[in-house]
Structure 1
């Protein structure tokens, strides 16, 4: 088999075996499909879930390229949002019994995730799935839903009549954000994205404009739609390798971005910018940091999931002159710390109820079998996000 895996594989006769995906190094080319992994056993406070569906997410892509290598150990099994059936409970578990349909987000520091026949989770990280909700939908909405709820209800305070900007190339995440925002009265949304012609017509006048930053001035469009006031909130869900036109890593974009000695001109929202888009035209949503800041209203808030983001002093000044703020979004914070566990479970309950009432519906691009996951992970690495990939596991039953 593989060096170092012998402790994770049963060799004795009569032991229960399962199918799983294993990653040896932080490289999608080293993903292996294993048919003789041992079935894990629960400790006192854990439940074992027989996985029906594991939905792939941008988080899997980040893990596979080593962004969290400082605390994610190898070998590992990726897959961080699952829906399935309780197969075994620990001796101290009272809120679940064998046969319960459940959903769970797998903590990032868990070595063996949802891309296997079984997964072990602490019982406080799982909730029961409504019977009428499909396993595919339940798994596919978990991380995106948590991101949106975390952003809108904990990092920001959205009120009626607010203008919200969404900078995102992941259609699945954008759709969940729009579904949640639509429930807030009189909120107006501007989407900043190379949408490829997607118009979001199904949401009606709730979306006031879709701005393609490669074709038009983002600042001018935002100011035109907001009456020169700017956006009260910007949800910046671009990946680390999608943003800011090369400012990550090589610093080229930062040099071309703004002159620190000429900060005053950036305080005028209405000033025509000469160039907002840097880098190659096929780079998804390559909007400069200064452009994002200039789109903010006074007391506006910029929420970003870009863990590589750094501001120059003149960019900090632009934020300060608006009394604006920058927040970092990392949805796994809820699982890596036991603080506010009740609020976390309440978010998951809300998501399941939204699915049950058909208020929420994740965008699922394709359904694949577990043995096909290697090619799916390669697709995830290069895809800008056209919808979720649902991996069907243990599906003698319907997903």
Structure 2
């Protein structure tokens, strides 16, 4: 059987992705589930994070969001039986894991996949759903009546945040990065219930669009928003044309209301003393969103599985409707992964 791996470059050498033959142990450990993979999601690989947690290998398995059919279960596994359809994220720490493969051994992470949900859809959207759930529920503690600002709401992650927030009665504001994305966001409607727009205000940030701060304060009566979730932050005034679409860190702090929560995806964020002073005056908080945090502690596995199941159930009922991803075959996986790794904010799905 074949698997997709990352061969990390040394120094300035370019990172390579390769497909090569691999094998799994014939004897399955008592707490593992062996799954025949039907679809696998590809997301950017954080090599620095792997080095920080002590994972250094010549070949690193790639593609950890999987959907497939159970082939074999260990002696201590009671939740699954052969032929069950499952979905889950594979842990980095397990030695018997080869994510994108015909078969994988999965530890502690799968949940049942509803029949009406396609393997390609759930594998491609699982990471974004998990990040949105973590940002809104775990970090921001959202509640009905809150006001939320999502930057770049037309992205796959932003769309998940918008839909999840609206389901829980949160008023949503978002930014758009192009006329096409602006139209898409204004036309968003729930799949069930009252067909009011999901987004209360779409704020364009392209072609000399109005100031973000003034629009948000006008929309919130000068109070600011309770939650901000970004997809990247601009740290300096001078930036490239692409970076100018991102909000400046000072603007994000300025739009926060008293006691607000800022959840950032910018792992290298740096705040100056005036920024910290403004956060202090507002008694606001800043949280970093790390998609891998749930796999860092085994004590969180029960909560983690509950989140995965809730995400899959909401996809099945239409509460969460991810943007469709065009699946690629295994022989195109290396090219697809190189594109994902280079652009960082994109993703891909491999269908087996």
Question: Structure 2 length normalisation: TM-score?
Answer: 0.87
Q: Aligned-pair distance for 1:110? A: 4.4
8 A contact 1:56–1:390 mirrored in 2: yes
Rounded Cα–Cα distance in structure 2 between residues aligned with 1:278 and 1:84: 47
Q: Write out per-residue CA displacement over residues 195-238 of structure 1, whole angstroms, 9 at most, x where no aligned residue.
A: 45312112354312222334331111111211111111001232
2:317 aligned partner:
357
Decide which of 160, 173, 178 is 1:190's aligned counterpart: 173
Is it true that 1:115 corresponds to 2:100 in the alignment?
Answer: yes
2:159 aligned partner:
175
Is it true that 1:234 corresponds to 2:234 in the alignment?
Answer: no
Rounded Cα–Cα distance in structure 2 between residues aligned with 1:377 and 1:157: 34
User: Where does 1:72-111 land on structure 2 (aligned, <5 Å)?
Assistant: 72-74=55-57, 75-110=59-94
1:13 aligned partner:
none
Rounded Cα–Cα distance in structure 1 between residues aligned with 2:141 and 2:218: 24
Is it true that 1:33 corresponds to 2:14 in the alignment?
Answer: no
Is it true that 1:51 corresponds to 2:28 in the alignment?
Answer: no
Rounded Cα–Cα distance in structure 2 between residues aligned with 1:172 and 1:308: 22
Rounded Cα–Cα distance in structure 1 between residues aligned with 2:197 and 2:81: 46
User: Where does 1:331-370 land on structure 2 (aligned, <5 Å)?
Assistant: 331-370=291-330
- Cα gap change, 1:205 to 1:127, in 2 (>3 Å): closer
Rounded Cα–Cα distance in structure 2 between residues aligned with 1:178 and 1:56: 23
SS at match of 1:44: coil
8 A contact 2:153–2:174 mirrored in 1: no
SS at match of 1:198: helix
Decide which of 183, 198, 201 is 1:206's aligned counterpart: 198
Q: Write out per-residue CA displacement over residues 135-168 of structure 1, whole angstroms, 9 at most, x where no aligned residue.
A: 1122122211111111222212223332100124
Is it true that 1:309 corresponds to 2:264 in the alignment?
Answer: no
Rounded Cα–Cα distance in structure 2 between residues aligned with 1:384 and 1:190: 24
Decide which of 233, 240, 245 is 1:285's aligned counterpart: 245
8 A contact 1:189–1:206 mirrored in 2: yes
Q: Aligned Cα RMSD in Å? A: 2.2
Question: Structure 1 length normalisation: TM-score?
Answer: 0.77
> For the pair shown, which has the larger CA radius of gyration, 1 or 2?
1
Rounded Cα–Cα distance in structure 2 between residues aligned with 1:21 and 1:157: 37
Structure 1, unaligned runs of 5 or more? 1-17, 248-252, 254-276, 394-399
Q: Aligned-pair distance for 1:365? A: 2.9
- Cα gap change, 1:43 to 1:196, in 2 (>3 Å): farther
1:378 aligned partner:
338
8 A contact 1:125–1:335 mirrored in 2: no
2:112 aligned partner:
128
Structure 2, unaligned runs of 5 or more? 190-195
